[in-house]
Amino acid sequence: MNYEEKITDHYRKEAAAMGLSKNSTMHDAFIRNKEIEFILSEVQAHRSKRGNSLSILDLGCGNGYLLSVLTEQVDGCKFTGLEFTDELYQLAISRKLKNTTIIKGDCRTERMNGEQFDVIISERVLINLLSKDDKVKALDNIRSLLKDQGIYIMVESFDEPLSNLNKARKELLLDETKPAYHNEYFNEEIVKGFKETGFAELNPTYPKHYLSSHYFITRVLHEAIRPEEGAIKNTEFVKFFDVALPPAIGEYSPILFRVFEKQGSAL
């Protein structure tokens, strides 16, 4: 089984298990909620800057939940979803979202018949490309699909904060945590190359490390004191500390909130 088959198999199972659920592909409810809040905030900020009518592409749209939120809360825009896994694609289509086109295709190669977009979103999508070369291909495609002064909203996982998280776990004699078998995280070297193709990183509406406190709570503190048979996800313990502590403490969340603006064609 090659890696594409492995990824497809994983998301077929996810589609069967989660259906149209909000938490499809992300079972941690806090993370999913904050990702959506961040993306919505960035889209609304860009609409205020560029005008009401935006074309928005959700790369790897999954079962279409994010698009369902955007279509309800962002009026006057044209939405497109791109999904690779047929089962998720069919779920997204079944929503029959207004002003929305769902396309089955590959984020590395799909050219959308030459159409370009004001906003492109990836929410934990490019980490499913299990090689640096494929990530670079996808980022190059994003550059081609984005209009000048358009924005790329990137919600992806990175190696550097994962290393910080594992340092904290090691201090409490916890095992190292690794990316899921179907993920390979980004690193700053890849982002540096992406910027060199004509992108400027903007200050996001939410801190880049917004999820850091939550990751420390769930992957370090909670894990250190959790009984062997204790609940793992979405616990009352975690919910309490998510409210008690401010977000974005430290740099412990692999998932980062980032925004890039296309400055123009690369030389």
Looking at residue 267, its pLDDT comes to 41
What is the reported pLDDT for 266?
45
Please give the chain's pLDDT, 267 residues, in tens.
788 888 999 999 999 999 999 999 999 999 999 999 999 999 999 998 887 789 999 999 999 999 999 999 998 899 999 999 999 999 999 999 999 999 999 999 999 988 999 999 999 999 999 999 999 999 999 999 999 999 999 999 999 999 999 999 999 999 999 999 999 999 999 999 999 999 999 999 999 999 999 999 999 999 999 998 988 889 999 999 999 999 999 999 999 999 999 996 544
What CATH code is carried by the domain that includes residue 65? Answer: 3.40.50.150
Domain membership of residue 118 as a residue range: 3-157+183-209+253-262
Asked if the structure places residue 76 within a domain, the reply is yes
User: What is the largest distance, in Å, between two alpha-carbon atoms of the chain?
Assistant: 57
Asked if residue 228 belongs to a domain, the reply is no
Query: What is the domain count for the chain?
Result: 1
The answer as to whether 148 is a domain residue is: yes
SS3 (DSSP) at 181: coil
Q: Is residue 205 part of a domain?
A: yes
Q: Is 151 inside any structural domain?
A: yes
| Residue 246 belongs to a domain | no
Helix then strand then coil, in percent of the chain rounded to 5, is 45, 20, 35
Task: Classify strands 255-262 and 146-157 as parallel, antiparallel or unpaired.
Answer: antiparallel
Residue 217 DSSP code: I
Cα–Cα distance measured from residue 222 to residue 241, given in angstroms and rounded to the nearest whole number: 10
Q: What is the pLDDT of residue 52?
A: 72
Q: Is residue 247 part of a domain?
A: no
Phi/psi region, residue 170 (left: phi>0; alpha: psi -120 to 50; beta: rest), is alpha
Looking at the domain assignment, is residue 38 inside a domain? yes
CB within 8 Å of 209: residues ≥ 6 apart? 161, 248, 250, 251, 252, 253, 256
The stretches of 113-198 forming alpha helices (DSSP H) are 132-145, 159-171, 188-195
